Amino acid sequence: MPALTDRLRSHPRAPLAAAAIAGAACALGQAPWGWWWLSVPALAAVLALLAGAPHARGAFLRGWLAGAASFMAAMAWIVEPFLIDPWTHGWLAPFALVLLPGGLALFWGAAAAFAAWAAQGWTARLALLVPALLAGEALRGHVLTGFPWAMLGHVWIDTPAGQIAAWTGALGLGLLTLSLAALLALAGRKATTRPGLAALAALLATALLAGAWSVGAARLAGPAPEPRDLRLRLVQPNAAQDLKWDAEHARRFFFRHLDLTAAPADDGRAPDLVLWSETAVPFLLDRPGDGLLMAAEAAGGAPLLLGIQRSEVSAGGGVDYFNSLAVLDAEGQPVAVYNKHHLVPFGEYVPVLGRFADRPGMGWLSGLASQVLLGYSAGPGPVLLDLGAAGRVLPLICYEAIFPANLRGTDRPDWIVQITNDAWFGARVGPFQHLAQARLRAIEQGLPLVRAANTGVSAVIDARGRIVASLGMGRAGTVDADLPGALPETTYARIGDAPWHAALALIVLAAGGSRLRRRGH
């Protein structure tokens, strides 16, 4: 057996297999598992393997394999949207499962290759991997419209350490993750050759984790802001996605909305504001028939906020369609409208190729989630909706909530609302990762966030990211709760990610410049 073990370790592909296995283990820190205590040591193993690569090409391959395995494990749910209509889209599921994780893994591979190229020696490469990988995390939130899902820092959202995001955002949590992993990797590397340095690295890792945990726990223990005198009702119809747009079932789901909205609350208190989920109704805002009036009557005079599609004539004489949020008054008249501006590529529109969706047999090019032939058009950007006594709210539709930048560009709201249809994401993993990121937005901004979902998970989230009230996956019903109060504006809400971007750019440029100077000599 020892001989077999030695042969396996000496095999030239052993580091590649180890990188993939450790990368997959990194994903287990994400929701719904939350095993940060396994994710961080696994990342330490990845960093050790990357720092020990013999050259930049080998480092890239190790980094790419680790990243691909991590994203594939964390986002195996990505096949779910393609299985809603498997006869039309099912053939795309394997490509999605390979191409998206493989594309995101390029940022890990590029960071590993850069560290191997720019730094000399194992320890120097380990140190440079921290800012290089963090820069990759920042970039993948923006490149090709961005996809900051399953970030390294997300493993802390459900722990006291996640509260650090109120000062640092997700990138600060990523730095915590990478720093802990690097210290553990250093401790493991030097355990036999320099035990004193190994002990110091382990002690620093312990102190860093304890410090972050303590600061977060202190923030969680702070006094809760006074809740607003605003009773909310979140309506979750649990409409199956494969039946949602079938004419007969769509009518049934609409009447389910009406029944749930009009049902008396357990405590007898009528809602002050009713919220329905994304694309909640089977008609357009500009062609509602009696639908809007029926919805308003069910709300009993309370304003109703709902997800709805709408159309308008474009400047060129065509028709643009929008995935929108509308606020209805007691008469069913829309008094405010928000059009989703950060659309899902290949979900709500298909980049470049989408213009061919009107060709025979090419309707799938409109996007998986789009109910219109050429996909949705993007709205102009974030807006504040003034709801009068309910305050000023910043609306987000579905995956807009995964982008911190979508909460900037307006005056500070009183609270945040997210309407979503997580039936697209399956029932086991994707919806819970989406919920975790909504909680992170609440922590970052110090604002309550209210989440109305078709299914999984409707929730009222306080300004420290804690779930106050919720309704879980696969259930039809309502959530009746008061709106939690807001905290003072956080440091992160004031400054955002700009300092991180500047610091990471300077570090990367300095490391690259140093390498070029050495090469010149």
* Active-site annotation, residues: 278, 340, 398
Nearest to 482, CA basis, from 109, 226, 261, 248:
226
CB 165 within 8 A of CB 492: yes
The whole-angstrom separation of Cα 209 and Cα 506 is 26
CB 281 within 8 A of CB 290: no
Token pair, residue 124, equals 């120097």
Tell me the CA distances in angstroms from 113 to 15, 108, 129, 146, 161, one per residue in order. 15, 9, 9, 22, 30
Per DSSP, the three-state class of 392 is strand
Tracing tokens 């409109």 back to the chain, one arrives at 366
Nearest to 326, CA basis, from 367, 366, 283, 355:
283
Per DSSP, the three-state class of 411 is coil
Nearest to 132, CA basis, from 109, 105, 150:
109
The whole-angstrom separation of Cα 508 and Cα 315 is 45
Pairing outcome for strands 477-482 and 392-397: unpaired
Nearest to 482, CA basis, from 225, 224, 233:
233
CB 261 within 8 A of CB 299: yes
What is the SS3 assignment for 95-123?
HHHHHHHHHHHHHHHHHHHHHHHHCCCHH
444 alpha carbon, distance to own chain's centre: 13
Which helix (H) or strand (E) is 515 found in, with range?
A: helix 498-520
CB 364 within 8 A of CB 371: no
CB 441 within 8 A of CB 416: yes
Q: What are phi and psi of 31, to 5 degrees?
A: -65, 150
- Cis before residue 225, ω within 30 degrees of 0? no
Instruction: Indicate the angle between helix axes 430-445 and 165-189, nearest 10 degrees.
Output: 120
